[in-house]
Structure 1
Amino acid sequence: MWDPYGELNKLPVAVVNDDKSVDYHGTELKVGHDLAKNLAKSKAMDFTILKSSRTASSGLKNGKYYMVITIPKDFSKNATTLLNKKPKKMVLNYETSAGHNFTASKMTASAAQSAAQSVSEQVTKTYSKTMFASIKQLSKGMKSAADGSKKLASGGNKVADANQQITTGLNTLATSSLSFTNGANTLNQGLDQYINGVNQVASGSQTLTNGIDQLNTKSATLASGVSKLAAGSSSLSSGLDTYTNGVNSVNTAANNLNSGASALNNGTAQLSSSSNTLNSGLGQLYTASQSLTANLQKVSAGLNGSTTQLNNSIADLKSQLANNNSTQAETVKNDLATLQTAAKQNNDSTTAQVSQVADQQGLTADQKSAILAAVSNSNSSALNKAADALSTDLSTMMSAQNNAGSAIDSFQTSLGNSQNELATTIAQLAGGSQQLTSQLGDAYNGMTQLNSGISTLSSSTSQLASGTNQLSSGTSQLANNSTTLNNGASQLNNGINTMNSQMPSLTSGVNQLATGANTLNSGISQLVANGSQLTNGASQLANGANQIASGDDTLANGSTQMGSGITQITNGNQTLAKQLANGAKKSNIKASNLTYDQIAKPTTTKHKERDSAPNNGTGMAPYMMSVSLFVGALAFNLMFDGYTPRKYPHSGFSWWASKASVTGLFVLAESTAIFLLVSAIDGLDPVHPFATFGMLFLTGLAFMAIVHWLNLVLGKVGSFFSMILLVFQLGGSAGTYPIQLSNHFFNSIHPWLPMTYTVNGLRQSLMIGDSSLPDMTVLLIIALVFSGLSILFFIRRKTRINEIDFTKEAAEHSIV
């Protein structure tokens, strides 16, 4: 029993690996293989890797192995179910055989639990690596999103500049449309005057034709007709002047209309190109914003799930710590109160018994008081010190519990604040991005409609430019021909005057004049017929000019509003880029193996051993030494006659002294032998060697005094009661397990057993290093009490023996 825990590497354990490796985020996860490999290399026990479960079970059955560890086939697969709706635990199966050896089954079970803990740390470390890899991807995604948002902001600025140019062009177009409307109205008025003049020309031409016909048919009335012809010629001259002025006005207005239509055509072409560019940019913005919103929503959802799982794990840990430690502390406190009450009752009972014995022995009052004081003080002092030590341990344990709870609360609060800030920021980014996406969609649809209207306007302005060009060409021809017409009218007037003065020469040209009058009448009729079409076209042109002016104003206002919206989009993109950059900076965590180890095993223990107990033998030495000294007292009293004197004693004390000298020498010899042999052979190294030897000697004296007195008083029955006392002390002295783990009976007799004080005193001198003086005092009192009882026995027996029975011959035949 000296050092069995130092030989655990010789304890055979079988390991069967049925696990199948799985793929986890691109990494081959083979937890079972790694566990079996580590166990094979471990020196904690003699692990043997087997391929067959049947072989392992057979070895456990016949005692070849003390434990069989079986790694199931879904061991690695269950490690990947952490984020599933119903995650599965990794179950490590182990089987022991307590029937072959109960202690070995407990030792191997502890090893299996340690292996399971090691696997848990390994799997948690793998989870941590995966989690931090995801966080790095999140950081990179945020940085990319920030860069894209900056590009969006830059593109927004360019779009704002282009929109400003469009607004300027639309304002110019609106101004030109106003001039174009004015010119169209002027053209309409000139055409009305022109139609009136043409009607007058038609009327005069008809009159001329009629007159010529009359001149041709009625020569008699020629003179009167010539006079009327002179008057009509004057009217014709005046109408032609009016017609010439109208044609010049129409020509001027047509030229202005042609110039405005060309400028309008160029402006609408530039507007159509710019709107197409703007529409394409808005479509790209809308697509990028939709992708950004979806990614941010995924990030926010993933972060909330990890936070909930991590907070639930911390709460479970805190609850387990609080429940376990609080329950144990309350149990120990209750046991302490019960122990103190029972001790007080037992102390009172012992005092009464000692007082009764003192009265029976006829002791004096002073002797009786001294014995009672010694018994009371010894029991109370030892018990009070034990109670104080236990109370101090309870306070330390509860303080450690409170500190652990506070540390967990602080860690949970700090982690919760950091995760809440990150979750809030990402949720705000997702909401802002979703709102931006909606606004970009509205802007994209509105721009599509605007682009369609601009294309229609461009087509109409092209047709208008073509028509005004034709109109300008026609009026130019009219202006050129009006000069000729004006000259002809002047010549006609001169000719009529000449004809009026020279009537005889007119007759020969009447036929020619009739023919020319018919031709003139036909042309003027065509002018009258086409005048209505020209008037209708001018009216349509005026109405179109008004519509163009109204559309230009609407476009200019819409472009201004769109410029304001583009400015808001640009500002929003800049804010989004800034927030994404901050989020990427905060989430850029540089994890290392130390980080993974910290998450896999966030808490550890720091053990400080107050006492020196290097092995199992040193821990068991106080108990085994005490048992061996009691067995020595039993064996010695079986061989030695502690009653019969070799010669007649002169007093009861001398009779006792003759026997005590022999027993004392034996106690000294056995104490010395135990101390030297255990130190030399087993390597026992006491903290206080002299105190250890003193404790051994006093233990031997106390046990010898008890056994000797029982044999003196009861004889063979006393030897039987000595064995019963040894059995009680084996279970009630707390030499192996703490007395709190025993039942109520052994807890009750524990303070009254001599071996309780021998075990405690030897622990103080061998390992703890504190003073053994209180226990030595108790043992000395026990030895003195039972020695005193033996002396009283010999004093009473002295009166029953005679000196004649101790002759020389009788002494020679004595066996003592």
Structure 2
Amino acid sequence: MKRIKHKYLMGGVLAAGLVLPVVCAGLVIHSFWDPFGQTAKLPVAVVNEDQPVTYQGKRMAVGEQVVSQLKNNHKLGWRFLSAKEAADGMKHNRYYTVVTIPKNFSQRATTVTDHHPQQMKLSYATNDSLNYIGEIISETGATQLNSAVKRAVTKAYALSMFQQIKASGQGFQTAAKGATQLKDGTVTLADGMNTYTTGVTKVKDGLLQLSTKVQQLPTGVNRLATGANKLATGLQTLQAKTQPLASGVAQLDSGAGRLASGSKRVTTGLQQLSAKTGPLAAGVQRLATGSGQVTDGLRQVSAKTQPLVDGVTKLDDGSAQVTAGLEKLNSKTGALASGVVQLADGSQALAVSTTQYVNGVYQVHTGLQALDTNGKTLAASVQALADGASGLSAQVSAGQSGINELSGSVKQLVTASTTGAAGLQAKGQQLQDQLKSDLTTLGTAIGGSSVAATKVATIQSELKQLDDTSTTASDDATAQAANKLKTAVAQIDSDSQSGDQSAGMTQSQIDAKVASVASATKMTADQKAAMTSALAGAGQTKPATSTSSAKTAVTTAANELVKASDAPATTETATASPQTVTRLKRAVADLADATSSSQGTTAAAALQKVLGDATALQTYFEQVTAAIGQQSAALSQLNGAVTGNDDSLVKKYANLVNGSQKLSAKLAEANGKVPAFTTGIGKLLAGSDQLASNGPALITGTAQLAAGTRQLNGQVPTLVTGVNDLTTGSKQVSGGLHQLTGQLPTLTGGVTRLVNGSLQVTNGLGLLNGQLPALTGGVGQLVVGSGQMTTGSQQLAGGLSQLNGRVPVLVAGVSQLANGGNQLSNGLHTLNQQAPQLVAGVGQLTTGSQQLAANSPKLTAGARQLKDGNGKLATALQGGADKVQATPLTSRTAAMFASPSELSHQRFSYVPNFGHAIAPFVVAMLTFLGLTALVAWFDYRRQLQTPRQLANLTGWVLLQSLITSAGMAVMLHAAQPWTFMGLTGLFALAVLVVELVLRLFMGRLAVLVVGALFFLQLCVANGIFPVQTVKTLYAPLAKFLPMTYANLGLTQALSGTGISPAVLTMGISAAVVIIALGIGLIGLKLMNPKNSMAGERQE
């Protein structure tokens, strides 16, 4: 029971060592997960005591604007309270900060343009004792608020200044216009001053004369007074007539304006007309040419109207025929529908036949594979036969010279007859089999046609008859005769030999050669037996016999061979085969005529193949007939040679030797052609493979054909309806053509009138073309005259405008003249009385005019300077106004004044919240604590004495670090989870080695060192604040602590930026050095039994 409790206790402790670091790390990170993302819940009080003011005619309430912006700002928990509520909340620790907007906030904003501007003061109070971090966040929020207020007020200032600048710009523009008017006035002043100086000079001269003549003034004044009375009377009359004069001048001015405007439009139109006269001449020329072409074309049209009439008449007749044909077609739609049904049934049968055809193709493909295999064997057999023929030639050449001709001729005849018969028979059988196969394929392909099927059956019966005939016409008689002749010749050979030794191969060699040839050439059992019987005893040694008996035997055998050879050529069997082939070819041609128009491409291809097979079979039988004739002639010649003297046999032996040599050459040639034959079989097999692979596609096509015919059968009612509609439309077309025929005379008359009218147009265009030069010249003169008239009318309008403008002055002047006349009359009476004083005054005036004349040059120079100065003033003012107006003074410009810079933030690596930021430190810290607890537990259990126990501890430490790092990698969605886990394991190994070394060499004092190491790393390697900001004496030790590199590496693996080479190199190097040194020290310690941990514990 105690052992069970101990076991459970061990398991519980180890499980706690594995699980607690993960749970603790998760709880710590979750508690610090995202404190800065929850600042909207941080309560900050805002007190707005600002009072709105009026600035430049507009209401300004900066405090209200700030509050409005803060209501849309969710970075802090803004609370808008009164001053009393804010103070109470601060007192009871409900708010971290109180921001106060004073009463004079807006008022001070308006003092920016005063002589003594006052700054706007935004105050805030903080409660540091509540939370220091909260106070820092609040201070940051107040600073940002102050910046926002600065931007808003600066923008308002800028907009106000922009309005003033715009108003100044408008004033500059007005001043520039006034200066321009001053410049124009000074010009007039200068002109007047010139006139004035001239007048002053004249006045001076006149006054000199006046001073001379004034003496006669009294008398003249008296007469002038009398005349003045008359003048007053006349001026009153003139005043009465000036008003009608003003009205007439105004009407004349209005008419002159309209005259100038109309003259200008006339001039513009004439200029456009003058510009278009050139293109008009060219266009009229082209129009005349085109009109002639139109006339010629209309004449051609007129000439073609009669053929048109005839064509329309024929079209009318043809339309009637079409209508009749459509009615007939409409009557046949029932039969068409029945035919479509039959076509659907036939396509279904074709689909079934196509399946059978594909099965046949597979069988052909199998046969071709067997043929390909046997072709390779045939090559070897032909090579063996060629070798045997070469040996035969050598043996024949070494034969006896006495019977060369007889023995060689017989051997040549027997060999040629046997080989030729076997080859021709095999070829005939192959052609017949091929024809049968193709006929079967053709019958499958055209199974839907009864006529074609009948033709195929006829061809098959002819082929069967041909097969029976060729089978019946065996070569037994020829073979027996040849065997007898062979025996007789062998007897002669034996008689001619000098000893008992055989002239050729042994019998066993001959039998083996026969068996090899029979196997290679696929002989039948009967053919093999016949050849074996014919060569039986050829290799045996026979006793000598008499020449006469051998000659008799040879003669008898030759006669039998001639008879056997001549027999097929004279019987019905020999002639039956060629005749049967001729009938077979004729039947194939009839089948082609029967199927060419109704079957598909597959049947046509099969039919062409059957026709080629029949032609090849006919060629074969012609070759057989020729070979039989040659064999008969050769046997007759042999018979004559045998029945003659013995010398002929000896002479023919040399021919036999030559024949054997030729046979060897031909066999060698055949041997050379065997690879081509094998290649052809391979190509045929490849084609058969292709044909077999396309079989499913053919079946699919026939199925689609059947589906198409069924669809066609379904569309037959639509076709019938369409034919009915077509018949109705044709009747309508026929009626329209009848109407068109009735209107043809009218068309002919219209074409004739059109030709006549075109002739008239062509003649008129010719006349117009002839008058165009005169028109162009007249238009040019009109343009010149119109321009002169426009100029004159404009001058007239200008003069009348000036006159009309002076009429009011004239009226006023006449009125003044009338009044002045009355005054003049009265004044003259006075003047008459004051004449003596006038004479004295004239003297003084003369003196003054002389002084004016002397100062006139100075006055002229001053007026000139005034004119120049006004010109410069107008130019400068206009330039200033243009610059002010060209400056963009918009709201965006004001925003630029308020906030001229923008802060751009780019992240090299991204850490979403504070939880992610402290996660690496928490993982490293709890890994450190977890492995420390495991080491302490193993030490307590006295399981640190052997290498196996140390390895067991290492495994548990690695497992604990991997569980912790894997859980945190999944929880934090690490970008590089494997790197995260690997770095944690490496850190755990490094710390484990350090603690083991400390425990081995320091015993229980190692606990204090490990605690100090943990505390040191907790202070300077926590990763919460940059190590540079930690103002302690031991801060530089951070670069030598494992947790520094663990924090940095885990952070980079967590954020996905990858571990930098420097950190990776330094961290791995430090870990490797620590682990290597630690393992070495542990090994040294364990090797010394006196320094074990157990011993230290006992002490």
Alignment of 1:578 with 2:875, yes or no, is yes
Secondary structure in structure 2 of the residue aligned to 1:7: helix
Amino acid of the residue matched to residue 684 of structure 1?
H
Distance 1:73 1:112 in 2: 18
Residue 44 of structure 2 contacts residue 95 of structure 2 at CA under 8 Å; is this kept in 1? yes
Are the structure 2 counterparts of residues 80 and 793 from structure 1 closer, same or farther at C-alpha, using a change threshold of 3 Å?
Answer: farther
Give the counterpart letter for 1:615 in structure 2: N
Residue in 2 that maps onto 1:796: 1088
| 1:470-509 residue CA offsets vs partner (Å, 9 max, x unmatched) | 899xxxxxxxxxxxxxxxxxxxxxxxxxxxxxxxxxxxxx
2:256 aligned residue: none
Aligned to 1:628: 926
Per-residue Cα deviation, 1:789-810 (whole angstroms, up to 9, x for no partner): 22222223357799xx9xxxxx
Q: CA deviation at 1:544?
A: 5.5
Q: AA paired with 2:1020?
A: G
Amino acid at match of 1:623: F
The structure that has the greater radius of gyration is 2
Q: Please, which of 149, 153, 158 is the counterpart of residue 188 of structure 2?
A: 158
Whole-Å separation in 1 of the counterparts to 2:1039 and 2:834 = 133
Report the CA distance between 1:609 and its aligned residue: 0.9
Counterpart of 1:644? Answer: 942
Answering whether residue 139 of structure 2 is matched by residue 127 of structure 1, we say no
Partner-residue secondary structure (3-state), 2:113: coil
User: What are the ranges of 5 or more consecutive residues in structure 1 without an aligned counterpart?
Assistant: 188-251, 267-460, 473-536, 650-654, 806-813
1:169 positional shift: 3.2
**1:684 paired to 2:969:** no
Contact 2:969 2:980 in 1 (8 A): no
Q: Which of residues 732, 751, 764 in structure 1 aligns to 2:1020? A: 732
**Contact 1:156–1:569, Cα closer than 8 Å, also in 2:** yes
Name the CA distance, whole Å, in 2 between partners of 1:701 and 1:469: 141
What is the deviation of 1:569?
1.6
Structure 1 residues 89 and 253: alpha-carbon distance in aligned structure 2, compared to 1, 3 A threshold: closer
Name the residue aligned to 2:130. 100
CA distance in 2, matches of 1:621, 1:142: 68
CA–CA distance in 2 between the matches of 1:541 and 1:116?
Answer: 87
Q: Residue 555 of structure 1 corresponds to which residue in structure 2?
A: 852
> Which residue is equivalent to 2:904?
606
Render the CA deviation track for 1:137-164: whole Å, top value 9, x for unaligned: 1101101111111222233333334444
Instruction: State the AA in 2 paired with 1:154.
Output: D
Which string of whole-angstrom CA distances, capped at 9 and with x for unpartnered residues, describes residues 24-68 of structure 1? 2222221112212222222112212112x2322332343322222
The reply on whether 1:713 has 2:962 as its aligned counterpart is no
Whole-Å Cα distance in 1 between the matches of residues 50 and 1029 of structure 2? 40
* Cα displacement (A) at 1:102: 1.4
Partners of 1:541 and 1:64 in 2: CA distance: 106
Q: Does 1:34 align with 2:331?
A: no
Give, in whole Å, the separation in 2 of the partners of 1:624 and 1:108.
28
SS of alignment partner, residue 91 of structure 1: coil
Show the 5 A alignment for 1:48-67.
48-51=79-82, 53-67=83-97
Residue 147 (str. 1) matches residue 147 (str. 2): no
Name the CA distance, whole Å, in 2 between partners of 1:715 and 1:545.
143
Please give the alpha-carbon distance, in whole angstroms, between the structure 2 residues aligned to 1:122 and 1:749: 49
Structure 2: how far apart are the matches of 1:117 and 1:253?
93
Q: For residues 560-594 of structure 1, what are the alpha-carbon distances to aligned partners after superposition, in whole Å with 9 as ceiling and x for unaligned?
A: 53333223222222221111011001011332221
Task: Give the distance between the partners of 1:169 and 1:29, measured in 2 at CA.
Answer: 65
- Looking at structure 1, the residues matched to 1025 and 852 of structure 2 have their Cα atoms a distance apart, in angstroms, of 97
Which amino acid in 1 is paired with 2:970?
A: A
Q: Is the 8 A contact 2:983 2:1050 kept in 1?
A: yes
Q: 1:39 to 1:563 in 2, by over 3 A?
A: same
Aligned pair in 2 of structure 1 residues 259, 675: CA closer, same or farther (>3 Å)?
Answer: farther
Counterpart AA for 1:779:
A
Letter in 2 for 1:726: F
1:23 alignment partner, SS class: strand
> How far apart in 2 are the matches of 1:471 and 1:21?
78
* Maintained 8 Å contact 2:169/2:880: yes
Contact 1:146/1:578 (8 A) holds in 2: yes
Larger relative contact order (Cα-Cα within 8 Å, sequence gap ≥ 6): 2
Partner Cα separation in structure 2 for residue 468 and residue 93 of structure 1: 90
CA distance in 1, matches of 2:1084, 2:123: 67
Q: Does 1:178 align with 2:466?
A: no
Shift of 1:129: 0.3
RMSD across aligned C-alpha pairs, in angstroms? 3.6
What is the alpha-carbon distance in structure 2 between the residues aligned to residue 54 and residue 544 of structure 1?
Answer: 94
CA contact (8 A) 2:966 2:977 kept: no
1:783 aligned to 2:1075? yes
Letter in 2 for 1:131: M
CA drift of 1:116 comes to 0.9
What SS does structure 2 have at the residue aligned with 1:641? helix
Question: Paired residue for 1:750, among 1038, 1041, 1058?
Answer: 1038
- 1:601 deviation in Å? 0.5
Counterpart contact for 2:934–2:957, Cα < 8 Å: no
Return the offset for 1:700: 0.9
- In structure 1, what is the Cα distance between the partners aligned to 2:993 and 2:940? 11
* 1:599 Cα deviation from its structure 2 partner: 0.8
Q: Hey, what does 2:916 align to over in structure 1? A: 618
Shift of 1:542: 7.8
Distance in 2 (alpha carbons) for counterparts of 1:148 and 1:542:
46
Structure 1 residue 117: Cα displacement: 0.7
Report SS of the residue matched to 1:89: coil
- CA distance 1:608–1:78, change in 2 (3 Å): same
Are the aligned partners of 2:1085 and 2:1091 in contact in 1 as well (CA < 8 Å)? no
Percent identity, please: 29
Per-residue deviation, residues 159-203 of structure 1 (Å, max 9, x unmatched) = 33444443343322212222234446xx6xxxxxxxxxxxxxxxx
Q: How far apart, CA to CA, are the structure 2 residues paired with 1:119 and 1:6? A: 24
TM-score by length of 1: 0.52
CA contact (8 A) 1:261 1:465 kept: yes
Q: Secondary structure at the match of 2:99?
A: strand
Give the Cα separation in 1 of the matches to 2:1093 and 2:1046: 38
Question: Given residue 1088 of structure 2, which amino acid in structure 1 is its aligned partner?
Answer: R
Contact 2:1000/2:1092 (CA < 8 Å) preserved in 1?
Answer: no
Q: Which residue of 1 aligns with 2:235?
A: none
Describe the shift of the 1:74–1:780 C-alpha distance in structure 2 as closer, same or farther (beyond 3 A): farther
Q: Secondary structure at the match of 1:602?
A: coil
Q: For 2:874 and 2:1092, how far apart are their aligned partners in 1?
A: 115
The one-letter code sitting in structure 2 at the alignment partner of 1:44 is K
2:689 matched to 1:658? no
State whether residues 1086 and 1092 of structure 2, in contact with CA within 8 Å, keep that contact through their aligned partners in structure 1.
no
Q: Which structure 2 segments of 5+ residues have no match?
A: 1-31, 232-823
The counterpart of 1:695, out of the listed 983, 1003, 1016, is: 983
In the aligned structure 2, how far is the partner of 1:108 from the partner of 1:467? 100
Which deviations, in whole Å up to 9, do the C-alpha atoms of 1:718-774 show, x marking residues without a partner?
112211111111112251111111224133322222222222222333334234422
Task: Compute the displacement of 1:547 (Å).
Answer: 3.4
Look up the match of 2:99. Answer: 69
Are 1:23 and 2:54 counterparts? yes
1:688-745, Cα deviation, whole Å (9 max, x unpaired): 3322222111111111222233333333321122111111111122511111112241
Tell me whether 1:672 sits opposite 2:962 in the alignment: yes
Query: What pairs up with 1:158-557 in 2 under 5 angstroms?
Result: 158-183=188-213, 545-557=842-854
Does structure 2 conserve the Cα–Cα contact (< 8 Å) formed by 1:739 and 1:746?
no
Superposed CA deviations along residues 270-300 of structure 1, whole A, max 9, x for unmatched, are xxxxxxxxxxxxxxxxxxxxxxxxxxxxxxx
Tell me the distance in 2 between the aligned counterparts of 1:261 and 1:541: 16
Structure 1 contact 629–703 (Cα < 8 Å) conserved: no
Question: Distance between the aligned counterparts of 1:33 and 1:712, measured in 2?
Answer: 73
Retained in 2: the 8 A contact 1:633–1:707?
no
Q: How many residues align?
A: 466
